Every structure is written in C-alpha cells, then in structure tokens.
Amino acid sequence: RVDVVTLGETMAMLRAPGIGLLRHAASLDVSTGGAETNLAIGLSRLGHRVAWIGRVGADEFGALICRTLAAEGVDCRAVEDPGAPTGLMIKSRRTEAVTRVNYYRRGSAGSRLCPRDVDPDLVTRSRLLYVSGITPALSADAREAVRYAIDVARAAGVPVCLSLNYRAALWGPEAFRAELTELVARADLVFAGEGEARLVVGGDTAEDVGRSLAALGPGQVLVTRGELGAVAVVEGEALVARAYPVRAVDPVGAGDAFAAGYLSGLLDGESVVDCLDRASLAGAFAVTVPGDWEGLPSRADLALLSAEDAVLR
C-alpha cells in the first residue's frame, strides 16, 4: 500500500551558483523542482512510500525528473508527453538575501496533466492524497485532474491534504481565492503560508487566519510563518511551533519540507506536538542548503539540529 499519492508539475531547475545578475552567470547548475515532488522526496527520505503523478516532455529534462525521483525512492508515475516540453524554472540571487525564480512553463508537458492521468486505484489504495493550489492554475485539464483526484479520495475515505501555494505568475488573487475556497472546503488538512492564507480568508493573527480556514471545513490547518515558526489549528485547538534557529541560505521549499515532516509524523501516529516538531525540523533543514529539496532530512538527520558536537566521526 502507498502512504501518500500526489500529483502536479515538476520542472527542470537551472540555478545560478553565485550572487548577481543572471546574464553574468557563466554556468548554471541543473536540478529539478516542484512543490509536490519536493514533498514526495521529503516523505521518501523519512521512510514513507510515495507516488507522484505528473507529465514530463519526451526530452532530457523529463528524463532527469524521472531519474531524480527514482533515485530518491519515489514511485514516479509520469506520463511522457511528446507534444510539449518539460517546463523550466530558473533561480538566481540578485542579492544575498533575495532569491528570484523565473518560470518557463506555459504550455509545458506538466501543465497538460488531465483526469485520465490519475489512476483511481492508486488514490484509493493510499493513506493520504496531497495536492497543491498550483495545479488548478496550470490549465483547465490540470484543474480537473485535481478535482477528480479529490473526488476519488473522498469517495474512498482517503484524507485530502492541500497546500495553498499561491503563485502570482500563474493567476491573480481573486481567481486564487475563488478556486482555493472550494478546495479548502473539500480538504481534511491544509498547509498555508500566512500571507497566501490572507488571500483566501481574513483574520488579525496567524491563529485567526488558521481558524478562518478551519471554519471552511478542514479539521487540521497549519499556518507557516517562515523563521517565526507556525501555528496549528487542530480540531478547534490552537498550538504554536517555534522555528529552529539556523542560518538560512535558500528559503524556497521550506513549506514543502514542513508539510513532509508533519505528514510523516501523522503517518507514524505521532501527537500533534511531535508532528509539528518534525515539520519544523524538516523546514529548518530545507533552508540551510541551496536547492528546493536537496537539504531535506532523513530520519537519522533529524537529530542533527540538536547534536552537541559539531564534528561527527
């Protein structure tokens, strides 16, 4: 049985190794990135069985994505689409503190995900379904694929986990609010950055925002606040989690890591407090390494942030 099934778009990522204008980068590092596969890799590293459904182009970047997921132990259910290229994202740092991501994804293979790509048996056999608010913005077909996966999961009693993941390059705040209000109402567990959550609901504090999201339906809402930590609203009760103090070099991917840590705890039957701790640890690991998922911890790594010795032999 699969622990978690997820679907969405993963792209090749080109990353400038230094700081400054992209035009002066003499070379770019090649990797991959996508919210759902970042989450899948995070869960796989923590020992869970994860499957990812998506589309890639019949090209080298598509092969890179499948190869990376296989190497990370993720069951890659990619449809190879000969009619469109694998999407691209380019990450650069204009200053030490500001990361910029440019997307080349319109019309990409990943954006052509459709309900036919979603294997209902795989969803039914999973313990959790994980979807993000990025996929419905990619195309009408991709939006239908998300709705179909949610329908199948709900009919089978498989809990639905949703990450808001607002992407301003894909749609405006009104369209996002309309779509995500519907999706949140059909989710059991919601992950949201505080800022993007405010695009969907109101509230003064992070706890208020979490309670407003929970009022739409989900029994568990996690509102993340970067280095300020996170607030959980679980079955009406609010809990606060502090972030681990680390030196952040790349903030992208922290939310996906946090979700992986939290769901890992949930799959292990841990208490909410322990799920939050694993989530915060995973989030802290993600920001200490350049790359969206490369820094994600294994189970053994989790203990390292409280290790007393700086050198382990």
Using the rule CB under 6 A, is 161 a contact of ligand ATP? no
Q: Which of 45, 80, 77, 74 is nearest to 61 (CA)?
A: 80
Which residue blocks in the chain are alpha helix, DSSP H? 35-45, 60-71, 120-124, 140-156, 173-185, 194-200, 206-215, 254-267, 272-287
**Shortest distance (Å) from residue 157 CB to ligand ATP:** 28
Is 75 tagged catalytic? no
Centre a 10 Å sphere on the Cβ of residue 97 and count the other Cβ atoms it contains.
9
Identify the residue among 253, 265, 290, 297 touching ligand ATP (CB under 6 A).
253
The b/e string for 118-144 (b: 16+ C-beta within 10 A; e otherwise) is bbeebbbebbbbbbbbbbbbbbeebbb
Using the rule CB under 6 A, is 224 a contact of ligand ATP? yes
**Shortest distance (Å) from residue 67 CB to ligand ATP:** 23
**Shortest distance (Å) from residue 75 CB to ligand ATP:** 23
**Within 13 Å, how many C-alpha atoms sit on residue 113's CB side?**
33
CB-nearer residue toward ligand ATP: 112 or 220:
220
Using the rule CB under 6 A, is 225 a contact of ligand ATP? yes
Active-site entry in 81, 256, 277, 292: 256
Helix, strand, coil fractions of the chain, as percent rounded to 5: 40, 25, 35
Build a one-symbol-per-residue string for 272-291: x at contacts with ligand ATP by CB under 6 A, - elsewhere.
Answer: --------x--xx--x----
Look at residue 28 and give its three-state secondary structure: coil
**Shortest distance (Å) from residue 116 CB to ligand ATP:** 29
Residues 32-61 that bind ligand ATP (CB under 6 A): none
Q: Which token pair is 187?
A: 């989710």
Q: Which token pair is 242?
A: 């502090």
Segment lying near ligand ATP (by CB under 6 A), choices 175-183, 204-212, 248-256, 303-311: 248-256
Residues 228-247 that bind ligand ATP (CB under 6 A): 229-230, 243-244, 246
State the residue for tokens 């208490």: 271
Applying CB under 6 A, the residues found at the interface with ligand ATP are 193, 224-227, 229-230, 243-244, 246, 248, 251-256, 258, 280, 283-284, 287
